Structures are given as structure tokens and as C-alpha cells.
Amino acid sequence: MTLKGGIEMTNEKALKVAELKSGEAGRGITRIDPSIMDILGIRVGDIVQIDGGKKTVAKALRGGPEDENKGIIRIDGSTRR
């Protein structure tokens, strides 16, 4: 489920989890494969809900070119727990 602008959306997509770069950890952000962001209509700065057994939220940023079309979401260790 994606939370966008305070409106609950029902767009869901299974993604592969990878670690954020260490300088970005602890900032409440996630980097998402740009193609997935486009498919789901997620914009940079949107707050998204991440459900991996436990639910959490993070601010969405575009993943780098290395993640394009790979279905990767990058989150830090504390967000994964």
C-alpha cells in the first residue's frame, strides 16, 4: 500500500530490498527503482508505506541508474527491522 499526499492508495508491488548507501542511513528515506516509481505514480518526496511483515513509512527518492528496471528498493537497516 502506498501513502501519497495523505491519501491512501492501493498500488502494491513486490520489490527486492537492498541497503542504502551509508551516508543516507538514518534519514527516513528510501530509494526506489525509477521505473517502479513511474509505474506506481510515486513522486520524489512522497511518503510511502513499506510492508515486509512489519509496516513502516519512508520518504521516496529515485534510485540510481544502477537500480533502473531491477525492481530494487533501498532502505537502511533500522527501517528493515
Helix (H) / strand (E) element for 32: namely strand 29-32
Which one has a higher pLDDT value, 43 or 53?
43
Matching residue, cell 510492508: 51
Task: Tell me what the mean pLDDT of segment 34-38 comes to.
Answer: 92
pTM: 0.79
At residue 10 the predicted structure's pLDDT band, cuts being 50, 70 and 90, is low
C-alpha cell at position 55: 509496516
CA 60 to chain centre: 5
**Would you say residue 44 has pLDDT above 90?**
yes
Specify the CATH number of the domain 2-80: 2.40.40.20
